[in-house]
Structure 1
């Protein structure tokens, strides 16, 4: 199957500053891929090059197998069949929801109310919203309307540029799930760029980690989280606890016991996710620790414990199963260490 988007060797600089240094990215047709990275790593620049708002210094971009940059010349943005949703949504304040949604359609299509109702339903809004104006909507509703507008012309590709970061936390989860469901229902190839690891891992079928202008690892969310390519990817995608280790016969000997691990050249430690560290009653002969602090978050808590050798590590525990500060507990590690 032809990829929905294929980027090869993409380079771009602003003056003397290299922002993208040879990006390769393949997005399967009809799927949602997230490009995740820290602020300033080049995520939005990548989207602008794909959309045609900026021109790459080197490299090629192909949408549904058709080159839009490269030796054959540049295809202008309006001919790339791309829908673009920004952080702010950028709805026209003087137009109704219906007129915002149909803005990019032909005059004949704009007169067809069925398409508006269909799109509102797709993004989880009732048709009664059609006559409202943007200031009468919540932030989450505005982003859903912005997505409906992007989907209205039936684009080959939708680009989402940090679309949920300006929303209040209570709106964010519901809005991004509604948007992801709408995109899946429409079968539209989508690229989401975000600095939010949780957002990327929970919404996307594939995740690409962008660091210092290149894709350092790409794959399914669970694979990236469980088998990161290096320490930097591991720490970026979630909290980690580093334990000094000695390796022998496939085991890493640590302060928390002997843990199965595959040694990499030069490694002298293992990385463990806080949720892999379990606290339990003290058992003779097993590792123990003293609870020195608890950060409570409701459904879970991060428990800081001091191991016998003085090393402090964090364990993530269910909120209803917490020890007390000063209590002595048993400590064990479950699953495969990194």
Structure 2
């Protein structure tokens, strides 16, 4: 019995005296000792099992808490962005209105000058053309401001769109840029679902994303256009279009601001409204537009759109 107890104290819970209990009082005590050791071993086994189960549940709960925290953070970001967009929309509408008035006066007076100087403006044709171009440029900026400020007024008719066909129809619009920048296009068309969105708006978004990708590859590279069926965050059916480049990429600080209105890294040619309007157009259809990037490796823009129902409307999904 002393030897058995020493083994148990050393950590061997399987140690037993082996007494049958029929050799007198000492034998009975040894048998009872073995019974106690059996109970201790069973309790230890149960405690270990409970400990494993507790650890498993803690891990599951931790995963759920991390997911819930990320969802809260994402929702908070969306709310903050929505508030920013609403405020900037009001400001933009006011700015556009204030600009349109003097712009109309300038355009009208320019026409009057042309009429007064009819036949005597040959030497000023270049100057007049430059003024026209700049007025037109301002008008385009004002139009984008209004489109950003009042998306409902600029939203076009939605219809079913085949993603592969849309990409094929859009590529010729940027063909000259692709050739000039020595960019190779790779396609992976796996989407089978049709999506519901206005054709012109989707084309506008795709052109914007492609042009940005080309600009990010000044020394040439590969533009990958990938599409596939995928469910949305709430489990609703839809499809994804990925626009991926092998360009200069973006830092985390730039990536965090690319959808902010008026933020641009193009010092001369950009007005910072392109991606903001793209995200607004996609959000209006119930879709999402996100981006990821690694400096010196490239960027990927992921566009998700809901599937069109049998009658052409958006197909509603269910939460999962």
Report TM bin, short chain.
Answer: under 0.3
Name the structure where strand makes up a greater proportion of residues. Answer: 1
Name the structure where helix makes up a greater proportion of residues. Answer: 2
Taking structure 1 as the reference length, the TM-score comes to: 0.22
Q: Quick check: which has more Rg, 1 or 2?
A: 2
- The higher relative CO (CA closer than 8 Å, separation ≥ 6) is in 1
Taking structure 2 as the reference length, the TM-score comes to: 0.23
